[in-house]
Structure 1
């Protein structure tokens, strides 16, 4: 049996990325990303855009999420694997630091893994739910 912690199988690489993210271990997360990774946060999401390089991903996505949200976690619930493509059905949970509003929103992530590294990521999420939690309750 292969140990997912050292396996280069696409689903194992993606799982390591989720575990590193949940632990706040940005070095371990960067180790799952290809040097020329393309990481796309969905249009309408607060961090919308495409980020390149492992450092670009962690500084523009993970570090910014940690600055704006308490306990931001992507819970990876189900994996669908087809060769180098890994689709993960997941959910985000967190509490917005500015408003105190929690989120619990479903999400789908599409990863492409080649040579044991994530080369592409695309997020699909109900951005309205995330933005609602960011809106002031006084508004």
Structure 2
């Protein structure tokens, strides 16, 4: 790989998404997403649903998380890669802005990466723990 080439392997693309998210760099995060991305937050999660387009994902998910939580971070620690599929075992940490309760919960994310872009995302998380932190 040349000096100016970006690693477009599925794991590298997913890692760039986590780094951009942690830095609050939504423009860089959008650059990892395909124009027709399908981003699914798990049923029971406060932002449950499927979002499309890079702008739709960042406005409906990342910006809203930032409005509701202080320090929302997805800590990616284990990657399992099978072709275009990347499963990441991670942890969410944050403090809810209204309740002041901390969140520290394990999560699994399934990404599908094609052509150097994330085309699909599905979240798996203990939604009861998230709800408990968000409830007074």
TM-score interval, normalised by the smaller of the two chains: over 0.9
Look up the SS of the partner of 2:64 in the other structure: helix
2-side partners of 1:88 and 1:43: how far apart?
19
Q: Deviations over 1:85-115 (max 9, x none)?
A: 0000000000000000000000000000000
Deviation at 1:2, TM superposition (A): 8.2
Look up the SS of the partner of 2:39 in the other structure: strand
- Map 1:1-139 onto structure 2 (within 5 A): 6-136=6-136
1-side partners of 2:126 and 2:95: how far apart?
16
In the alignment, structure 2 segments of 5+ residues that lack a partner are none
Paired residues, what number? 135
Structure 1 stretches of 4+ with a deviation exceeding 4 A read none
In the alignment, structure 1 segments of 5+ residues that lack a partner are none
2-side partners of 1:29 and 1:40: how far apart?
16
Q: How large is the Cα RMSD of the aligned pairs?
A: 1.3
Residues 1:84 and 1:64: Cα distance change in structure 2 (over 3 Å): same
Q: Deviations over 1:27-61 (max 9, x none)?
A: 00000000000000000000000000000000000
Q: TM-score, normalised by structure 2?
A: 0.97
1-side partners of 2:63 and 2:111: how far apart?
20
2-side partners of 1:2 and 1:46: how far apart?
43
Deviation at 1:6, TM superposition (A): 1.7
